[in-house]
Amino acid sequence: MVKSFIRNERYKLLATFLVAGFFLYFWINGPFRQIEETISLEIISTIYSDPKMVGETGIAEQGFGTIKDDWTSGHGYGLIRDKRKLKTYGLVASEELNPGLSGKLAVQMLEHSREIFPEANAEVRNSMEMYYVRVALPGEDLLYIESTDIITNIRGYAGPVNIGIFVSGDGSIHSLHHISSRETESYLRKIQNKGFYDQLNQKPIRGEVNVDAVSGATLTCEAIAQTASRLVNEATPYPLINITDVDEMDSFSLEADLSHFW
């Protein structure tokens, strides 16, 4: 009985040493040990990043010119050089990057607006990406935009359909006109005679607008509607904001579908 008790105590003592050794090993070499990371910070200094003193004994002696505070024309209060006049910088728009700024197109748009409203006083102007025409009618000012050379990837039956849109000051379509296309002349005449363009008068240039397409010329009607949608969105906010309050976030979508009557 005594021998059995002594043997059990030895086993307990041995087990205690084994468990203690196990935890001691992992405390020294295992996950219980926290190793502090050493972060190496290095400051890189160049001749361009070194501080320089600005003034008579500073960079002025190296030919850079001193810097002083002054009122700059058109830009408010700022830093300018005292020995050399600053050049004017700005965004440059070119005909190569923006076909809508073609000088030829500007002349054509002015002629088209005068053909439609010969009694109006028309003046061509330009925004960043396109020309537009300010049209002064008795008691009303309109803004004329045209899709020629601007919207080229929307096709009707035989290619793009170029249109012109007169926009009123209240943000609605005053009138929409066919300018040029390769569509069949009988289709174009049918669209005109069926009053397709008349449906667009006074329609707002925001949100979704639906009009009836003309049976037998559906593809041409859809091309006109899609071109009008794209043109208005291209002209939002500029130049449309020059005559009406337009919201850039509220896009314009014109849909031409066949009604149940057709």
Q: Which residues contact 53 (CB under 8 A, 6 or more apart)?
A: 59
**What is the per-residue pLDDT for 75?**
45
Per-residue exposure over 218-245, b if at least 16 CB sit within 10 Å of its own CB, e if not: bbbbbbbbbbbbbbbbbbbebbbeebbe
The string of DSSP codes covering 44-68 is ---TTTS----STTTGGGGTS--EE
pLDDT averaged per 10 residues in sequence order, the chain, 262 residues: 60 73 65 48 57 57 47 48 52 62 92 95 92 95 96 93 97 96 94 96 96 95 97 95 86 89 50
Structure tokens at 211: 């009009």
Q: According to the model, what pLDDT value does residue 28 have?
A: 64
Statement: the pTM of the whole predicted model exceeds 0.75: no
Give residue 184's pLDDT: 93
Instruction: Report the Cα 194 to chain-centroid distance in Å.
Output: 37
- pLDDT value, residue 254: 97
